[in-house]
Amino acid sequence: MYINGKACISHQNSVEEDFFIEQAALSSNPLAKAQEPLYKNYISSTLLRRMSHGVKMGATAATISLQKAGAETVDAVITGTGLGCFEDTDVFLRELITNQEQTLSPTAFIQSTHNTIAGQIALIFKCHGYNLTYTQQGHSFENALFDAHLFLKENEQAKVLVGGVDEITDSYGQLFEAEEAFKKNKVALGEGAVFFVLSNTKTVNTKAKVEGISMFLYSKEIEWQKKITDFLKETNTTISEIDVILSGNYKKEDVLNEELEKIAPLANIVSFKKWCGEYFTASSFALWLAALIIEQQKIPQQIKTVSVKKVLVVNQYQYSECSFILISAC
């Protein structure tokens, strides 16, 4: 699948045209909240008034990715999210308690559903076609990406908008004991919205393509070398061809990072979550970063000098859901 347009709203100022991750500041806060752009530059003020935080991020990232792809609309909208519009869920539950389950406004409840973001994007771009939201925790974005692959196999001329969106609030941080998690793993809880315009057709602006996706559950018995080798074999790739590995681990001394260094001694191994934080769809940030590295031919914290042709994303969500995504230059 060719990446014809991409956009990222994250803890970094990643919507800037000349942004590169090397310039980014690492988060020293347990909650790595997003640096939000000036939304009115992308969405009308009338719509903005009715949008929650997560919907604003998602709709804006989708708008920018379509602009970069030179597309007015798409044939399908597929999103992944762990908790949907958590801010509205929070508001609704607090009103439920405050009003003792009486005289509740339905607005927050309606806007809290997981598919609100995809629905709003479809309304903005008048996309009345295929629209689906995946909510498989740490595999939410990967399932959305894989579904896009299936859709494009059946609709060869189509354009698909695929994204991952998750948000945090202060109560979310308390719920997940952000302070303790930060001290233990040295990674913040993050949020963000990342969208891609994908198709089977390469355009003049296309720099990268998705070669393969794989998902599995974490186990201490996993043989990482076999897992990675088998995955790469499916895409006719060898481990020696991988120039960069974006690792979704928290600390450099994590066991998986040590395994990756043994498996791919020639690759530059970079832990990406220190820039975006940990959240259900952080792999969407990793895919965006991989495409950016290929486009700019710059590697953050570069160890070995190479021209970047292939990037492997190895992600794990809280040592639970794991995934591989292979991205290549084109």
For residues 74 and 188, the answer to whether their CB atoms sit within 8 Å is no
Helix (H, G, I), strand (E, B) or coil at 102: coil
- Site of tokens 């003792």: 100
For position 301, what pLDDT does the model report?
72
Domain 208-329 classification at class level: alpha beta
For position 14, what pLDDT does the model report?
93
Question: Which one-letter amino acid corresponds to residue 115?
Answer: N
Do the domains 208-329 and 2-199 match in fold? yes
For residues 245 and 302, the answer to whether their CB atoms sit within 8 Å is no
For residues 33 and 188, the answer to whether their CB atoms sit within 8 Å is no
Residue 2, CB-side half-sphere exposure with 13 Å CA sphere:
16
2-199 carries CATH number 3.40.50.300? no
For position 100, what pLDDT does the model report?
84
The pTM of the full predicted model, rounded to 2 decimals, is: 0.93
pLDDT in 10s for each residue of the chain, 330 residues: 999 999 999 999 999 888 888 777 766 778 889 999 999 999 998 888 888 899 999 999 999 999 999 999 999 999 999 988 888 888 888 888 888 888 787 777 777 788 999 999 999 999 999 999 999 999 999 999 999 999 999 999 999 999 999 998 888 777 777 777 677 777 788 999 999 999 999 999 899 999 999 999 998 888 999 999 999 999 999 999 999 999 998 765 577 888 898 999 989 999 899 899 999 999 999 999 999 999 999 988 776 667 899 999 999 998 889 999 999 999
C-alpha dihedral, 22 to 27 to 28 to 30, nearest 10°? -160
Rounded Cα gap, residues 225 and 221, in angstroms: 12
Query: What count of other Cβ atoms lies within 10 Å of the Cβ of residue 309?
Result: 16
Instruction: Give the full edge-to-edge strand order of the sheet including 192-199.
Output: 130-134, 76-80, 159-166, 192-199, 2-9, 208-217, 321-329, 310-317, 244-247, 268-271
* CA dist list (Å): 129 to 81, 99, 160, 164, 203: 20, 39, 10, 19, 23
Q: Mark out the alpha helices in 198-314 (DSSP H runs).
A: 224-234, 255-263, 273-276, 282-296
Q: Where do the domains of the chain lie? A: 2-199, 208-329
